[in-house]
Amino acid sequence: MRPNLFGMLSLPLCLHVHSALCDAQVPVDVYWASNSQPQTISVDVDNGRSIADLQMDTANKVHFIGQVALADNVVTKLFIPGLITAGYSDGAEETVPIKFGPGISVIRMRIFHPAALDCGNETVRTIEQSASDPDLLLKRYITARALYRMGGCGSYQVRRVIKAWFDRSYGLAILRPFFRLDDDARDEAQKILPSYVDNYVQQVNGNNVKILNDVKLDLAKQGEYDAATKINSTLLNALEENPTAGTKQGLTPQQLILDKSFLDSAKAKAVNG
């Protein structure tokens, strides 16, 4: 299995308003699908520092809103894993893997809690379909996961369900930067489609590299050369471990070394006038 890029991107860094981490507050807004209103919404940030309970918007009563505090101004990972958990009156929970970091200034989604399910062809065909609408994609991801956890599907159907679960998680991770690839979906799909999963994990890694490089370029344009250089260094470390992760943007270690020289030169010129 190719490495998950989350494990590679670590360094102390505060990215000012670009990642909403310097003020240590990230807005989170969770709506719900009809007939599946949650009783509670919580956000767990996997840095041992923050668990936030969102509050219902009492004026509109159609969503939970809140701010997730990341505890201090210096984070230890560029991408911090997190988890949204919705609790329901029947005791069930739905979770959505997310991440915080550069280029992620707000998290907004429509949560879904499926009713009674079956492994019939119509249901499975539905979850196998991709979508450009993140709400619909999230609904199919949650439904696929629920089908898998329910059990009782035949051996042929369960393979389709596992693949759909992974595919919909992959689609979310590519479509919106704050969605994180589901580790459980990846692990289950890896057992039946190892090469397929490796390819798409690599694409997610490449998308994470793109997010970081775009933020780096934006910082450089605004004269934030130190922050841009730190991101460039992190990207260089990542690509040295996994060179093909930069393919999506044509990035290579050699290009990043040249970028560092440019950033150093631009900083020196800005300082010396």
Res 23: pLDDT: 43
Per-residue pLDDT tens over the stretch 125-170: 999 999 999 999 999 999 999 999 998 899 999 999 999 999 999 9
User: Helix and strand tally (H, E) in the chain?
Assistant: 7, 10
Q: What is the DSSP letter of 78?
A: S
Backbone conformation region of residue 262, classed left if phi is above 0, alpha if psi is from -120 to 50, else beta: alpha
1-110 is a CATH 2.60.40.10 domain: yes
C-beta neighbour count of 14 within 10 angstroms = 16
Distance CA 196, CA 201 (A): 9
Using CA atoms of 15, 21, 24, 26 in order, give the dihedral in degrees to the nearest 10: 150
Distance CA 219, CA 87 (A): 39
Write phi, then psi, for 64 (nearest 5 degrees).
-105, 140
Higher pLDDT, 35 or 112: 112
Beta bridge mates, 68: 26
Distance CA 92, CA 113 (A): 9
Per-residue pLDDT tens over the stretch 53-80: 888 876 666 778 877 766 543 333 567 8
Q: What's the rounded mean pLDDT across residues 223-245?
A: 86
User: Which contacts qualify for 210-214: CB closer than 8 Å, 24 or more apart?
Assistant: 210/248, 210/249, 211/101, 211/102, 211/103, 211/177, 212/9, 212/78, 212/102, 212/103, 213/249, 213/251, 214/103
Lowest mean pLDDT among 5-9, 173-177, 183-187, 219-223: 5-9
Per-residue pLDDT tens over the stretch 178-212: 999 999 999 999 999 999 999 999 999 888 888 88
- % pLDDT > 70, the chain: 84
HSE value, Cβ hemisphere, 13 Å, CA-based, for 148: 19
Per-domain boundaries in the chain: 1-110, 114-192, 205-272
Per-residue pLDDT tens over the stretch 102-115: 778 889 999 999 98
Distance CA 266, CA 8 (A): 27
Lowest mean pLDDT among 3-7, 59-63, 81-85, 251-255: 3-7
Q: What's the rounded mean pLDDT across residues 29-46?
A: 84
